[in-house]
Structure 1
Amino acid sequence: MVTIASLRNRFRLAAGVAAGVLTVSLLAGCGSSETTSGIASSLGDAEGSLNLIAWPGLVENGSTDSSVDWVRPFEQRTGCKVSVKTVTSSEQMRDLIDSNAYDGVSAPGELSGELINNGSAEPINTELVKNYRDVVPGLRMQPWNSFEGHAYGAPLGRSASLLTWRSDQVKAAPVSLAPLFAADSSYRQKVMIRDDAASLAAAALALRTTKPELKIGNPYALNREQFSAVIEQMRVAQQITNLYWSDYTEQVRAFEDGSSVIGLANQAVTSLMQARGTKVQTVLPDSGTVGSSDTWMLLRGAKHPSCMYRWMDHVLDAKINAQISEYYGQAPAVPGACANTVDKNFCQAYHAIDESYYRSVWIATAPQRRCVDGRNEACVAYPDWHRAWQQLRAG
């Protein structure tokens, strides 16, 4: 069950990928007798240790809550002793990856694409992760966790950012993202927006409806004309926004005290607010919405790759994936988890196996010059997103 205790200092909407040129490189792992073209062909003996980088709440050994423990069973079964460094931003995650002291990372979509493109992550042999075959189709071989037909890690789950409003103050239930970005919004100075360049993707989705002539498809694959239109729309949104939030507690506080009455919020947060008695309602916007997904990735030069393979398989076990999903607040990656959740309505609430629902959720993906939707034109890469956001926020 998601609670304030389980979310505090744990729930994150990643801080975004820091500015820097994203260069597509040839991806090859470290050669060894057990690899072919950089991908492991067999699983070696467990090395006895595993060093991980993760968001708080993804590597739990019972020390936070004695009832929440999927690390010690893994250690007992595999002999791999787990050490974890928890982080609260993608920038911290990147710095630790550069230290070359870790075997794996729970990378968000905003970062995983960068790790693939710069060679920091290794492609994996999914045949060696037996539970991978059970992963829902919408999380297998996606732009944020694969490249040229190779999988880059084990997807852990997914979540959607829902249009959320105070039902006692917003009289007509909204159905689109327009109230968050339009000058004629009825909620002037009552709108909240995440303080991150990733919010540009939400504005792009709003423009899909209001300006169809722009022909925006994937909101993370914008050409220069589309991107310029998004920036202009965000300038308009500045006039009606009263809160740019970076931590979910700011969201909860603003909704609870009524200083903001409408915005996008992760389902774990909206469920928490409803449980606390805040009168909020949610809807999946008719234009679609943004979302998030973490992937456990094997890092280049990992000293304990066999233990990392075993960990990726472990987190996709139906019982373990159920534990992680309920504690972390996201839809599980494997359908079998739904039979193992404590809350038997959990998977229904999170639309866990509803692929039609998640076809309207655009999982965060690092924008690249080579358009992530595969079309043959130049797109605006993340460094420009980052710079544009900084300029917007600077006024």
Structure 2
Amino acid sequence: MDLTQSPRSVALAERLRDFMAKHVYSNERRFFLEAERLGPWALYPVVDEIKAKAKAAGLWNLFLPGHEVEGGLTNLEYAPLCEIMGRSLFAPELFNCSAPDTGNMETILRYGTEAQKARWLDPLLAGETRSAFAMTEPEVASSDATNIGSSIVRDGDSYILNGRKWYTTGATHPRCSIIIFMGKSDPDGADVYRRQSMILVPPETPGVTVIRALPVMGFYGVPDRASEVLFDNVRVPADNMLLGEGRGFEIAQGRLGPGRIHHCMRLIGLAERVLEQMCRRAEQREAFGRTLAEQTVTLERIAQSRVAIEQARLLTLKAAMMMDTVGNKAARQEIAMIKVAAPSMVQQVIDHAIQMFGGGGTNNDHFLTTAFATARLLRLADGPDEVHRNQIAKLELRRHREQDPALTGGDSKPLTIVEARASGADGLWPRPSAA
């Protein structure tokens, strides 16, 4: 398994680190203050200022896949770059590499018509607009996407949409220009995975109402502007359909695979940042006559964090490499494994850090609470842990079902009577006499 980074990826990583040091870390406090004071419906001036610098520096749209776009990067090449951006919760947007836009741009790039690309993809790639993704619903268990109740009904040259969505990321952004909406176009179809479709909905369309911004563990608009949106008899042209009726699940799988691993790549960077904060704090603070760094519990937590980060990084890189070499479908178990492992790992690392920082770790002075909220959210976003664990286990059972246990030594059957008698163990010890 060759995880060596290409010279191009190494060079981009160095430029990214330099940009982050010059423009990002020093502006984080300003970002959080603007987000808190201006609210989730506003533009944050600091974001626009730094985005212009990132675009001018050529650190732009790095997420674009090499197999889709000339000059794009492979997943393995992008992984360390995404990790660097993930060290700051507001950095990905600065490079036009944040959710939900990356997934939406890839979706329109891969499945959209030329007209759809010209109208919505090009402005997104230029960073002139933002987008939203409307899949999850409050009234059903959306971890099973076959439960989706929103409707997409054909009416002449249009479709009429009805549904209530929430945790629709990006919908409160003033520059949101397009929403990808998932609903049922064939609710009674025999194949439950062909009942759904995805369609493009401009947010200014009559009947679209962004009801409210939703907090994530108390944080509004950071980092993804979660929202609740009502679609009430929304009429959109039939030309807005993506790929065709009944192709919603197919699109979702194509969209969510890369999105899941991008989240994990960013989380590795977030964990590294938090571990660095822990180490520096441990050497600066004293308790009971010793620095925290001299206390065994601190050393254990730092060591555990380092081991966990390295394990998660290696699994992330393996999944990225497999996506590049054998494709997303063949890599689905690895993608599911890292989607389970990374958020839980980061959540634990951040929890260690909060404990070390004490009261200051709970008030966001050190950005630990927003980091924790993000890690906890990502145990639900793009499929909850339970769904991914089920998939991992089913794929594992299938793999062993298809193997001959005689070739692997994996037979679980007990010894037969004959095998037990022939094992020889009975002759190792004398039987007690029947006195």
Please give the TM-score of this superposition, normalised by the length of structure 2: 0.27
Higher alpha-carbon Rg:
2
Bigger relative contact order, structure 1 or 2, given CA contacts below 8 A and separation 6+?
1
- Structure holding more helix per residue: 2
